[in-house]
Amino acid sequence: MPPNKPLPPELRTLVDDCFQHDSERLRHDEAIAILRERVKTVATPETVPLEQAAGRVLAKAVTAPRDVPLTDNSAMDGYAFAHGAYEATGGFFPVDQRIPAGHPAEVPLLPGRAARIFTGAVIPEGADTVAMQEDCERHDQDSKPFVIIPPGLKKGANVRRAGEDVARGAELIPAGSRLRPQEIAAIASVGQAEVTVTRRLKVALVSTGDEIVRPGNPIQPGQVYDSNHYLLHALLQCVDAEAIDLGVLKDKPNLIRTTIKEAAATHDAILTTGGASKGEEDHLVAALDALGTRHMWQLAIKPGRPMNFGQIGDCIMLGLPGNPVAAMVCFLLYVRPVLVAMSGAPWPEPVRFQIPAAFEIRKKKPDRREFSRGWLTHDENGRLCVDKFERDGSGLITGLREADGLIEIAEETTKVERGEIVNFIPFTELGLPGK
């Protein structure tokens, strides 16, 4: 399908006219609202072994085909008995069965008798309670074993009931869930060895600029190493997307246009850094205008104002600023949730924690939301607070390394006093691992 020909609605990743906006710059909440409304799932399902499913998005809900646990079983090593007999006999029982885990008793437990039982073993028919071995006294009389069970045990003590974790037929994990190790364990617990997930999104990574050099090569005055490529490649792994490196493109309009056109035909998204404005050397924006539709984002945020967004056919194109801090902040705030939603998972709204500021901002521009790099610390009284990186430059990767998350300062705020409550978004809420 030619890239400039309108797509039918069912094939569109985004709706063309939804980004028409009267203001010169979109506020943060406006941009998020537009994306949440329009971005949809594009990834198709595939079945993978459970060992390969960690981090993937579940395409088909997992339903429990059986109870978990499958049968009543002992929560610990001890003695199984019938609670009614316990009350009648005062807790003195002959022991006439031994039941290890994995070896259910072949016959019911006789009335007034106890069974030596081990953790995970099936509760025998005729028993309903287990006493911990540490609380019992074991004796032999006439070469026959007996056990004295102390008083006070409630009926059903130390017994894990069949289905108490998951009942047969219950939805274990809903579609759209990102599979963590604990979900993998839950799926394995119902005996399922494969799982249906959405395929990984294919995201083309593009670096541009005559001054950009990849690490491992010599560098000359006026050149910079391409840290953004490696930053974004690692960030895409946190979203479990497949990053395809298209290399560093020189500032040649025809080369850039041809590369973008070919990538749009075979990828779900194109992610670029640098050239996000519309200057004479911003050939990425010109290529997007020529090949598809640009919904130009001039965002009222700091850092990250010059970010653009558009589509070429059913491939989306996201242009991030060239400075590393701005690139990472925009990825976490906008690109990550877009890719998550395209993968079939719910839009990830980060939790904001309200924490006292261990810093002050004497003057802030109004009508702009700011995201500063910050970390958790304690004041002189031992109370939790958040401090910020003192330098706000968008090229300072050191601040990203030292930070635990982002301090969010609202548009209407013009200053922040020390001790004032601010919003703090930990990086873990934005899909990144902790330190």
Q: What is the pLDDT of residue 277?
A: 57
CATH topology of domain 353-430: Beta-clip (2.40.340)
- What is the Cα–Cα distance from 37 to 33, expressed in whole angstroms? 6
Domain residue ranges of the chain, discontinuous segments joined by +: 28-43+200-343, 48-65+167-198, 73-160, 353-430
Angle 283-291/253-266 helices, nearest 10 degrees? Answer: 50
Low-confidence ranges of the chain (pLDDT < 70): 1-23, 88-89, 275-282, 296, 393-395
Q: What is the pLDDT of residue 5?
A: 40
Residues 48-65+167-198, CATH architecture: Alpha-Beta Complex (3.90)
Closest by Cα among 31, 32, 141, 63 to 95:
141
Q: What is the pLDDT of residue 296?
A: 63
| 8 A C-beta contact, residue 361 and residue 376 | no
Q: CA-CA distances (angstroms) from residue 271 to 18, 242, 339?
A: 21, 12, 11
The 10 Å Cβ neighbour count of residue 251 is 18
Helices and strands in the chain: count of H runs, count of E runs: 9, 26
Note the pLDDT tens digit of each residue in 260-287. Answer: 999 999 999 999 987 655 555 568 888 8
- What is the Cα–Cα distance from 393 to 309, expressed in whole angstroms? 24
Residue 340 makes CB contacts below 8 A (sequence gap 6+) with 57, 178, 239, 346, 347, 348, 431
Q: CA-CA distances (angstroms) from residue 316 to 114, 137, 338, 410?
A: 68, 71, 10, 29
- Homologous superfamily (CATH) for 73-160: Molybdopterin biosynthesis moea protein, domain 3. (2.170.190.11)
CATH code of domain 28-43+200-343: 3.40.980.10
Q: What is the pLDDT of residue 263?
A: 97
Q: CA-CA distances (angstroms) from residue 181 to 116, 170, 178?
A: 34, 20, 10
Q: What is the pLDDT of residue 281?
A: 56
Q: What is the pLDDT of residue 397?
A: 85
Provide the 3-class DSSP secondary structure of residue 117.
Answer: strand
How many residues in the chain? 435
Closest by Cα among 357, 333, 358 to 347:
333
- What is the Cα–Cα distance from 373 to 387, expressed in whole angstroms? 9
pTM assigned to the model: 0.84
Note the pLDDT tens digit of each residue in 186-235. Answer: 999 999 999 999 999 999 999 988 899 999 999 999 999 999 999 999 99
- What is the Cα–Cα distance from 387 to 402, expressed in whole angstroms? 11
Note the pLDDT tens digit of each residue in 138-157. Answer: 998 888 999 999 888 999 99
Q: What is the pLDDT of residue 16?
A: 44
Share of the chain above pLDDT 70, in %: 91
